[in-house]
Amino acid sequence: MTRLDKLLVQSGLYSRSDARALIRSGSVAVNGVTVDKPETKADESAVITVLGAQVNCAEYRYFMLDKPAGVLSATEDPGQPTVLDLLPRELRALGLSPVGRLDKDTTGLLLLTNDGDYAHRVISPKHGVVKTYIASTALPVTAEDVEAFREGLTLADGTRCLPAVLEPLEGSTCKVEVSEGKYHQVKRMLASRGKNVETLRRVKIGQLELDESLGAGGFKELRQFEASKVFGLS
């Protein structure tokens, strides 16, 4: 159980003083009951409303973003736009960070959260969370390329990659599934087979699929059970 004023601050919508003022004015209800004392304890799972509108006061928050090209997977940069710049001010105040990264010109599914343990589990190779990409290449992939990915590639600099899935699609597009996140990994793996990547888009992490209706730069909040789909949980 947590103080009600602290829960409102966790929402990212209010300062501590604003939260206290709203509570004292009778503008806040917990599970339908108006509360006027900021020190009142409430559970994160309670239905908390401010002026009749429900507010998400969970400590940990999870967001799905359809990252556009030309945006950095970073929290801040002095000269270039970052994924956090795509969010409104109140969400940027939550302390969100990208879960892993996508290259500047790579698009698609990127998770944002303030849950450090969750982020670590998603990106740590020992957890084996599979990331799925759709790539277009200058040349179509071949059966030999598929077998090379299945066996595990060694890149030009000697980096050894774990076995991965390569599936030819229509024309010069293909699907790639990897369970690690080395620097420029998918591009380098395909390039090692003479297939230079022209476009790359991440469409799935674990069992969590990108909501294509978001559109480039669009985002939505995930409930905890939805965020857990990256681990095959629901």
The model's pTM: 0.86
User: What is the spatial distance between Cα 181 and Cα 177, in angstroms, rounded to a whole number?
Assistant: 11
Give yes or no: 103 in active site: yes
CA distances from 66 to 111, 204, 213, 218 (A): 9, 11, 9, 6
Is the CB of residue 177 less than 8 Å from the CB of residue 164? yes
* Annotated catalytic residue, options 103, 115, 157, 211: 103
| Range list for CATH 3.30.70.580 in the chain | 62-125+208-231
Which CATH fold would you assign to the domain 130-205?
A: Alpha-Beta Plaits (3.30.70)
**Domain spanning 2-54: which superfamily?**
RNA-binding S4 domain (3.10.290.10)
- In CATH terms, the fold of domain 62-125+208-231 is Alpha-Beta Plaits (3.30.70)
pLDDT tens, N- to C-terminus, the chain (234 residues) = 889 999 998 888 888 999 999 999 999 999 999 999 999 999 878 899 999 998 888 889 999 999 999 999 999 999 999 999 999 988 988 899 999 999 999 999 999 999 999 999 999 888 899 999 999 999 999 999 999 999 999 998 899 999 999 999 999 999 999 998 888 999 999 999 999 999 999 999 999 999 999 999 999 999 889 999 999 865
CA nearest neighbour of 208 among 189, 183, 228: 228
Contact criterion met (CB below 8 Å) for 165 and 147: no
